[in-house]
Structure 1
Amino acid sequence: MKFELKNLTRRFGDRIAVNSVNVEIPQGQMVGVIGRSGAGKSTLLRMINRLQEPSSGSIHFGDQEVSALRGAALRHWQRDCAMIFQQFNLVPRLDVMTNVLLGRLNHRSTTMSMLNIFTREERIMAIAALERLGIEQTALQPAGTLSGGQQQRVAIARALMQTPKMLLADEPIASLDPLNAKIVMDALRDINEREGITVITNLHTLDTARNYCERIIGMAGGKVVFDGPPSALTASAVQEIYGSDRDGAGIDETMTSTAINIPAAAISSGASQSVGIEHLAGARA
């Protein structure tokens, strides 16, 4: 089903965080949203999931106006539109299995949820989700004992338990080293390709957006300033999204790279060298 944003706007006092965004996304696309901090990326995703209310405009999924939903209908949308956060949002003291099973809460009665009763079928689903993400061996560990990359995979498994029609990921690899970032992005692409689920993910790295997303939306100052395939993301388009440095030069794409192997040419300057060393240190951590 087609997903559409019509003149979607969000204001915080006098500040406009998202400014009249018009986007149409067909079912099954993998879309990367890029832009500088404060460009409106996270606010946009939170409005789609209805964690943040639009100031004006509307959100549509098929023949349903998502921005008008209330009560049980809104909870059903938040079940169908799963959200993955940069901070993982797991319950650290609970074991991994239980954290994953929490993704079933909006599919169950209030009584069963309060009593924490899960069916055998739901437990089989949870194990299958963990196996798919290669972390089934952690099922009985407290979630707080896992690495950041493992916790993000648990969060993805929990989202899969919602059997969503759309998957939103808000900076899912921002706190991960390059190797774990690749594992997480591979998992999101696999879900997109195998299930045909629309995936919209905010990213702070251009190379990740180019490599994983069939469509890229660039935001600046709350507005969409680029919308197209990775091949159309030219140097001028990148400059429009990210602006210029203090000297008026364009943005060096290596500054937004998570690649483990950064080309030698990319670390010829002092600034790029600093970034390269930082990422290589992260890769060894």
Structure 2
Amino acid sequence: MKFELRNVTRRFGDRIAVNAVNVEIPQGQMVGIIGRSGAGKSTLLRMINRLQEPSSGSIHFGGVEVSALRGAALRNWQRDCAMIFQQFNLVPRLDVMTNVLLGRLNHRSTVMSLLKIFNRDERVMAIAALERLGIEQTALQPAGTLSGGQQQRVAIARALVQAPKMVLADEPIASLDPLNAKIVMDALRNINEREGITVITNLHTLDTARSYCERIIGMAGGRVVFDGPPQALDATAVREIYGSDKDGAGIDESMTSTSLESTRRPEAAPSGNVMAQAAVMR
């Protein structure tokens, strides 16, 4: 199921945010998009998910022109192309279980979802996703009471229950401390490797991109200026992506470092937590 961007451009008035991007991504890759703020990374992801429309060019997945979808077909694409945001996009007053179950929204009646009418199988699916991320004990807590790292894991669990074909993550660790950043990136890599789902994530940090992504796309001024494996991301490529300092020297990579270790985190085993079981039966 190949994914393609064909000459995709996005303009905001006179400003070009994304400029004639051509990219092909085979099924199952984990791709990191890096670049300075304003390089066009977030706009690119939002066009893939159709939260924003391309000004020109086209987007394709598995032979379907995604950029031409409308109505139910577009909703189905947004179900299949799960989006994880920097600011989590949870409903703070709703409990964690319900926030996760809202990922089933496009699989069933909107009214039933909003009324929190979910069947046992869906609740089991939600608890399994929370257990996989090690936060099943939070199932009945209001989402707004969780830490930032926990909320981002809830957002990933919500994406999992969508049963997506692709996962987009827009700066998923930008507001997290290094430990929680590692947990979130481990979870995204686990989804990519275990399910074979394509993961495309925007990242500010070079060390994270090198540690977790098999392919890195570098953007500058809305254009793709680098596309290759981590080992090809040398000083020249970094300078082209990030530019130089006021003295003309290349960027110091420590400025983009989170000191993440790339060791794998074991998957959380099911705990049989009483609160989680209660959430399934609720």
- Taking structure 1 as the reference length, the TM-score comes to 0.91
Code of the residue aligned with 1:221 in structure 2: it is: G
- Distance, in Å, in 1 between the alignment partners of 2:8 and 2:111 is 37
2:82 match: 82
Secondary structure at the aligned position of 1:73 is classed as helix
1:209 corresponding residue in structure 2: 209
**How far off its partner does 1:260 sit?**
5.7
Q: Which runs of 4+ in 1 moved over 3 A?
A: none
Cα offset, 1:110, TM superposition:
3.2
Whole-angstrom CA distance in 1 between matches of 2:244 and 2:76 = 43
1:103 positional shift: 0.2
Measured after TM superposition, the shift of residue 184 of structure 1 is: 0.2
- Helix, strand or coil: the match of 1:79? helix
Following superposition, the deviation at residue 243 of structure 1 comes to: 0.1
Match of 1:256 in 2: 256
Letter in 1 for 2:130: L
Deviations 1:53-107 (A, max 9, x none): 0000000001100000000000000000000000000000110000000000000
Contact 2:34 / 2:41 at 8 angstroms: preserved in 1?
A: yes
Q: Secondary structure at the match of 2:182?
A: helix
- Residue in structure 2 matched with residue 69 of structure 1 by the alignment: 69
How far did 1:114 drift?
4.0
Report the counterpart of residue 27 of structure 2 in structure 1. 27
* 1:98-177 equivalences in 2 (<5 Å): 98-177=98-177
Q: 1:257 to 1:127 in 2, by over 3 A?
A: same
Equivalent position amino acid for 2:234 in 1: T
SS at match of 2:10: strand
The 2-side partners of 1:146 and 1:10 are apart by: 36
Q: Which runs of 5+ in 2 are unaligned?
A: 262-282
Q: Does 1:46 align with 2:54?
A: no
Matched AA of 1:44:
L
The Cα of 1:115 is off from its aligned counterpart by: 2.9
| SS class of match (1:90) | coil
Alpha-carbon separation, structure 1, partners of 2:147 and 2:7: 40
Q: What's the CA shift for 1:116?
A: 2.2
User: What value does the CA root-mean-square deviation take over the aligned residues?
Assistant: 0.8
* TM-score (ref. length: structure 2): 0.91
SS at 1:185's partner residue? Answer: helix
Residue of structure 2 in register with 1:237 after alignment: 237
2:40–2:221 contact (8 Å) kept in structure 1: yes
Aligned-partner residue type, residue 106 of structure 2: N
What is residue 222 of structure 2 aligned with on the other side?
222
Q: Decide whether the 8 Å contact of 2:33 with 2:41 is kept in 1.
A: yes
Cα distance, 1:172 vs structure 2 = 0.1
Q: Distance in 1 between matches of 2:194 and 2:215?
A: 18
CA contact (8 A) 2:207 2:260 kept: no
| Seq. identity, % | 89
Give the aligned residue type for 1:18: V
Aligned residue number for residue 271 of structure 2: none
Q: Tell me if structure 1 keeps the 8 A contact 2:10–2:16.
A: yes
Cα–Cα, structure 1 residues 114 and 94, in superposed 2: closer, same or farther, change >3 Å? closer
Q: Which residue of 2 aligns with 1:275?
A: none
In structure 1, C-alpha distance between the alignment counterparts of 2:260 and 2:177, rounded to whole Å: 9
The superposition leaves residues 19-71 of structure 1 with CA deviations (integer Å, 9 ceiling, x where unpaired) of 00000000000000000000000000000000000000000001100000000
AA paired with 2:144? G
Counterpart in the other structure of 1:3: 3
- List per-residue Cα deviations over 1:165-221 (Å, max 9, x = no partner): 000000000000000000000000000000000000000000000000000000000
Query: Does the aligned pair in 1 maintain the 2:208–2:260 contact within 8 Å?
Result: no
Q: Secondary structure at the match of 2:7?
A: strand
2:98–2:116 Cα contact (<8 Å) kept: no
Asked whether the 8 Å contact 2:92–2:145 carries over to 1, the reply is yes
Q: Distance in 1 between matches of 2:126 and 2:29?
A: 25
Deviates more, 1:100-109 or 1:112-121: 112-121
Q: Deviations over 1:240-268 (max 9, x none)?
A: 0000011111000000000068xxxxxxx
